[in-house]
Chain A
């Protein structure tokens, strides 16, 4: 499976894996730098409006 990716001129495979790995690491770092309070605030955004239906649940 990996043979085709890594022989000779196939820079694309290696480059793409590296790029992806960096994206993943950056995303993780950014996410875990967030404050707990921010996260809570954001995750409650969908819930803070009024229910206009009759069957409030």
Chain B
């Protein structure tokens, strides 16, 4: 028998991440509630740029995913890894770099996103300097994990550790892949890929961010904390291994299901569908494994709020992983895509699975970190019920809204015209649902605040056990004769890492390489030309304002869409779009063919206040675009970078660009001044709004039938 060694677990770092998670959880939920209210009462934004929907929606999503859930993952992983490996975290310095680096990223996001500094890739909005910071924090995390694995005292890796490791490597690959961008200035960059390639890469990322940031780490947490809370081993350890390998292998292929009926090649879309459906098997295996762990202990579930939170979390996991594959079937997708059904689907996952798992975990963990008991079991129960009601009030109205929108968008009269030709009629009918959703959100937030109070009280009544004493025999590895391959794999961190990487890379490679290297996959359209200098500037304003969070730029090949918007979108039309702006939700109408639909004056009035043209609109007003002068200081640099990336700007265009921009702006300004009173065209032409209008008028006109 090996010698028994004494050592201590580091609980301080766990406490730090946990407290950060709870605080940012409240922030993320509050911002979410705020933007939900802005959709109900558009006046709430006060015409203030940094308070407008398009700019703070990414703040909500990033805060929820990376600040609330992210910090919870790290707290959960640092606590369980030390205990599963019988070792203190490898390096206190790496722990500190990881913790403070991550909080700095969050601070950076909280400042830059409301300022409109965004790459516009959903859930990867942060600009390149912050991307670099994320990389540093993430590498510190990984190094700390692997270091701890190497100096461990337990020879075998429990399945939770595998989930953590696959999370680490996959997120690293995704983060680098989706942020391949060329900086123009300190806060502006263009992505290396354009159009449909950019879209494919983004949704390969977006999908797998859900898979490997919101799912795999949480499955690891489930496999540790659920047995802990129930005080019994997982139902089937064998199943958990199959769950692991099949899940990480399948997930990565499914990204294209976000782009069904898009301009993406058919085979890529089909691949996405097939793999998404196959995903049901491992996901439900995992859910059942979690629920069956509680077999024979259901009487305790009724009493214990921690188990209650976890049961609802695991059930929500099962629901979203059933719904996800269903949404990947083309005919279902045709109904649900771009509607409020998708946010409902997402919130089952985030509020139910991630949120409730997090709360369950913290209610279990805090008494142990602070050597005390939970301050109030009753309050935890109240939190559970308010939270559950909150989820229901959030998702049920949104499912209804999504369905309603879709049916109204598609309905034709017997004469063959659109029944609801005016988009706003469809918006009108879902307004009550948007209000109910905000109510659901406020319930969930109330629950979280109660949880916050309860956990803080728990912490205050106890005392942090900074260094928790433990002991275990030193690690001695003597391989058994006839050891199976998998058993070896379980003991060695490096091969496990390599195999998991191989598993996730195959899927990404099969999807992406043909797209990137086969020219023929994007049929060229001769009439598609690069944006003019003014339009390019306008496009960057569109990106800055986050118009993409309400407007798609992708007309799908359905009669109901071509009738409403015009010719369906072709892959070849997007070759100069860096980044692509297809969007994922239509709170407003699609804009890909809006060019030429209205005159410049209409846009001028509409952007000043959408209620000028449409009294029931919930679109924010954009008064600052009428005050701010267009900043052309980086125009030449932008053109240079875009040319290097493949946009066909002639050599020397930089020198002429400003003059050309001025000429086009003068024309637009004159058009407007001719109709709108009290407008001085010489003043107006310098304003941002002119560039935006020029861009809107260009949209989709390259191939528009005259």
Contact surface of A with B, Cβ cutoff 8 Å: 1-5, 10, 12-13, 15-17, 19-20, 23-24, 27-28, 30-34, 38-47, 49-55, 57
| Residues A44 and B372 in contact, CB atoms below 8 Å apart | no
| Residues A2 and B227 in contact, CB atoms below 8 Å apart | no
Bound-state CA distance A1–B329 (Å) is 8
Chain B nearest CB, measured from A24 CB (Å): 6
Chain A nearest CB, measured from B154 CB (Å): 7
27 pairs of residues in contact across A and B, judged by CB atoms under 8 Å: A1-B274, A1-B329, A2-B270, A12-B271, A12-B510, A12-B511, A13-B267, A13-B270, A17-B274, A20-B275, A23-B245, A23-B503, A32-B238, A40-B237, A44-B233, A45-B154, A46-B160, A46-B224, A46-B228, A46-B233, A47-B231, A47-B232, A51-B368, A52-B369, A53-B372, A54-B371, A54-B373
Chain A nearest CB, measured from B163 CB (Å): 13
Residue B487 at the A interface, CB < 8 A?
A: yes
| Residues A30 and B510 in contact, CB atoms below 8 Å apart | no
Chain B nearest CB, measured from A30 CB (Å): 4
- Known: A27-B245, A55-B367. Contact between A12 and B514, CB under 8 A? yes
Q: CB-nearest residue of chain A relative to B235?
A: A43
Residue B253 at the A interface, CB < 8 A?
A: yes
| Residues A42 and B371 in contact, CB atoms below 8 Å apart | no
Interchain CB contact (< 8 A) of A52 among B253, B330, B368: B368
Residue B273 at the A interface, CB < 8 A?
A: yes
Residue B269 at the A interface, CB < 8 A?
A: yes
Bound-state CA distance A3–B273 (Å) is 12
Q: CB-nearest residue of chain A relative to B85?
A: A45
Task: Enumerate chain A residues within 8 angstroms of B401, measured Cβ to Cβ.
Answer: none
Task: Enumerate chain B residues within 8 angstroms of A44, measured Cβ to Cβ.
Answer: 233
Chain B 234-268 per-residue mask, 1 if CB under 8 angstroms from chain A, else 0: 10011001100110011001000000000000110
| Residues B233 and A27 in contact, CB atoms below 8 Å apart | no
A-B pairs with lowest CB-CB distance, top 9: A4-B266, A53-B367, A43-B237, A30-B486, A43-B233, A55-B373, A27-B245, A4-B270, A45-B158
- Known: A34-B484, A54-B367. Contact between A5 and B270, CB under 8 A? yes
Task: Enumerate chain B residues within 8 angstroms of A57, measured Cβ to Cβ.
Answer: 231, 304
| Residues B371 and A53 in contact, CB atoms below 8 Å apart | yes
Interchain CB contact (< 8 A) of B238 among A17, A31, A49, A50: A31
Residue B637 at the A interface, CB < 8 A?
A: no
Residue B501 at the A interface, CB < 8 A?
A: no
| Residues A54 and B84 in contact, CB atoms below 8 Å apart | no
| Residues B228 and A47 in contact, CB atoms below 8 Å apart | yes
| Residues A31 and B514 in contact, CB atoms below 8 Å apart | no
Task: Enumerate chain A residues within 8 angstroms of B456, measured Cβ to Cβ.
Answer: none
Interchain CB contact (< 8 A) of A16 among B245, B266, B271, B368: B271
5 additional contacts, CB 8 Å, given A16-B253, A24-B242? A15-B510, A16-B507, A24-B246, A47-B231, A54-B373
| Residues A30 and B237 in contact, CB atoms below 8 Å apart | no
